[in-house]
Structure formats: structure tokens, C-alpha cells
Copies of this chain bind each other. A is one copy, B any other.
Amino acid sequence: MTQPTDTLSIRQMCDAFGVTARTLRFYETKELLFPLRDGTRRHFTKQDRARLTLILRGKRFGFSLEEIRQLLNMYDRGGSNAAQLLRTLAIGRDRLEQMQAQRDELGLAIADLQTQLAEGQSALDAFAQAAPAAAE
């Protein structure tokens, strides 16, 4: 009959998720988390834990906190909002394309850099290859 003590203190949250207290409070001000209050202290519920999981996952996906907030809100309202869902999907696809483009550009830059570095001793000259007569 002891209450499940279903909540975590801020420190426990930090340890559990590998984030700082500042981060958790910050997320609260950004309306990403809504911990309960015992007087002045925060108590993070199972919901908060689930949301934080999503937040971190969203960050891995490259979403901004604001985007994540919107996604979480939609999710909260129950997925019955088809139009919104579609827009969400569009956002997701956009992000995907951006990421792919980014990755491709990275790939190019990496290839460039690799050949430059491998090509010889003087990577500087390689780096500067496009500059004829930089020093007259």
C-alpha cells in the first residue's frame, strides 16, 4: 500500500537520461516537460519520462526543440487529426531530404579532403590548389 513513488527527482532524471538539471528545467520552460510539484520540488512522472525519451529521440533525428514540441502536442491530442498528421509527415520527409542532402555534401567534402590528405605530403598546397599566385 505504499505509493508506487512513481516519480523521479530531478537528479534521478539526470542520471537516468544523461542530461543536466539545467536541461530539464529548460525543457520545462519550453513546454516540453510538465513535472508535478511537491511544493517547490519537481517530480517527473512516467509521462515526463516518455516525453523525454521522445525529445532525445527527436534530437537524434535532427529536429529542433520547437519542432519536437509540436510533434509531442499533436501526439498528445490523440492521433485523430489527420490533416495535422499529414503535415507532420511532410515535415518529416523534408527533414529527411535535408539530412540526405547534408550527408551527401558531407560525403563530397570528405572525399575531397581525403584525396587532398592522401595525395602527398603537402596538404596545404592541396588545400590551396585553387589559388594560383596567392603569394605573387
Q: Does A100 contact B (CB under 8 A)?
A: yes
The complex places the Cα of A65 from the Cα of B80 at a distance, in Å, of 48
Q: Is the CB of B50 within 8 A of A131?
A: yes
- Looking at chain A, what size class is its interface with the partner chain? 35 or more
Interface of A is mostly: helix
Q: Is the CB of A92 within 8 A of B113?
A: yes
Q: Is the CB of B50 within 8 A of A133?
A: yes
Q: Is the CB of B54 within 8 A of A124?
A: no
Q: Is the CB of B47 within 8 A of A123?
A: no
Give me 24 A-to-B residue pairs in the complex whose CB atoms sit less than 8 angstroms apart, sorted by A's number. Answer: A46-B133, A50-B131, A50-B132, A50-B133, A51-B131, A54-B127, A61-B109, A61-B127, A74-B124, A75-B134, A76-B134, A79-B124, A85-B123, A89-B123, A92-B113, A92-B123, A96-B110, A96-B113, A96-B114, A99-B106, A99-B109, A99-B110, A102-B106, A103-B106
